[in-house]
Structure 1
């Protein structure tokens, strides 16, 4: 097992950033989709957007930057919507936040 802290992983840092953002929005929020973009590439190709996101500092160029996408359509099932997405080469991956309510099996009857 590695001695590297888990938060040192760029993907983990991006997910923690998304989690902090989503948690600040409160409960009963719709699903949210985020493109994960290489921060150095974003800074080089889109300096205006990088400045808007606070990525001007050289130290902020390592890792992945999550960029929230437009709202997910409410009337379409999430799995069907996700199957329609196409990403440009600049997007390294994506992340999705979904709020789910979990009930114990004993609550199913009521």
Structure 2
């Protein structure tokens, strides 16, 4: 029974993810910032969808960051530094099917606070 609930939860997130991705896309001047969260850590990457390449990425596991609000802010600070070194100041935020609250919201707000326009 628990497995069925988990399958439904994941299926609904994938459905939201497809709905979001139908509306947003990243390009050279305004790439897409995608976030993924697991129970233990956070991952974020900056993607150019025209060429299908990852411009820069940040891994919370390698930085020792946990999947909480403070970890989201630390990951955003690290990713913002990498984006600035790649001369990227504008981006489109892909919340990857997650609701915009908690960890995802703290990540987005910290990116804005570090000089990235979303």
- What's the TM-score, normalizing by structure 2? 0.27
- What's the TM-score, normalizing by structure 1? 0.28
Compare CA radii of gyration and give the structure with the larger one.
1
Structure with the higher helix share, 1 or 2: 2
